[in-house]
Chains A and B, each alone.
Chain A
Amino acid sequence: QITLNESGPTMVKPTQTLTLTCTFSGFSLNTGGVGVGWIRQPPGKALEWLALIYGNDHKRYTPSLKSRLTITKDTSKNQVVLAVTNVDPVDTATYYCAHSGTMLGYFGPWGQGTLVTVSS
């Protein structure tokens, strides 16, 4: 059974770097066709895809935020980390990580999500 769990701060201040960790089980992220992605949802808004990393360490980012995002993996810990630099209140959202079983770009299953508030 595949499970994913997001962890990180619940609140960060503007201009700080937000670091989120996705800890997963039930699969290994050392296979090229398998990946983990990050998706966020601001309150009352739609889902927004952020980044995706594959077992072969290939990484893809949403172009509008690419300069602020870094996704990495630690296969020994079964973790994927997303860093978001220079956060702003508009980055307030529930952040989800999700498994991608192919290179195609859809996700399942997902973690429960973690709400992050950006406020001074």
Chain B
Amino acid sequence: EIVMTQSPATLSVSPGERATLSCRASKTVGNSVAWYQHKPGQAPRLLIFGASTRATGIPARFSGSGSGTEFTLTISSLQSDDFAIYYCQQFYNWPPLTFGQGTRLEIK
């Protein structure tokens, strides 16, 4: 099973600033990584797939990068609506599909 490890667990950033979230895979996953945004009581939302491709309707301030074992989700110029929990997920070698434990992005 491929373990996905996200860091930091909590990230405090001021609105308008940039947030950088990291995800590390225990084995290479190529570029088979997706990122999701999750707000309490709401459905998780697909942001990025294939490590760097934005899903339909996702604003350009969200970008993904990385390959192999190291991945990054960058949110430029944070807006109030962006404060949520973010999860990475690998779909390179499965079953099982595996998620990271999440990074909570909070307002500084």
A residues contacting B by CB (< 8 A) are 37, 45-49, 52, 60-64, 96, 98, 104-113
A96→B99 contact, CB < 8 A = no
The number of residue pairs between A and B whose CB atoms lie closer than 8 Å in the complex comes to 67
Complex CA gap A52/B102 in Å reads 22
Contact residues of B: prevailing secondary structure: loop
Contact status of A62 and B95, CB under 8 A, knowing A108-B45, A112-B43? yes
Decide yes or no whether B55 CB sits under 8 A from chain A: yes
When distances are taken between beta carbons in the complex, the residues of chain A under 8 Å from B43 are 96, 109-113
Q: Is the CB of B107 closer than 8 A to any CB of chain A?
A: no
Q: Is B42 an interface residue (CB 8 A)?
A: yes
Residues B95 and A46 in contact, CB atoms below 8 Å apart: no
B-chain residues with CB within 8 Å of residue A47 when the two chains form the complex: 36, 44, 87, 89, 99, 102
The prevalent SS among residues of A at the interface is loop
Q: What residues on B are CB-neighbors of A62 within 8 Å?
A: 95-97
Q: Which residue of A61, A98, A108, A112 contacts B95 across the interface (Cβ within 8 Å)?
A: A61
Question: Which one, B44, B94, B99, B100, contacts A60 given CB within 8 A?
Answer: B94
Interface string of B78-92 (1 = CB under 8 A from A): 000000000101010
Whether A104 contacts B55 by the Cβ 8 Å rule is: no
Contacts of A49 in B (CB 8 A): 89, 95-99
Q: Is B21 an interface residue (CB 8 A)?
A: no
CA distance A61 to B95 in the complex (A): 7
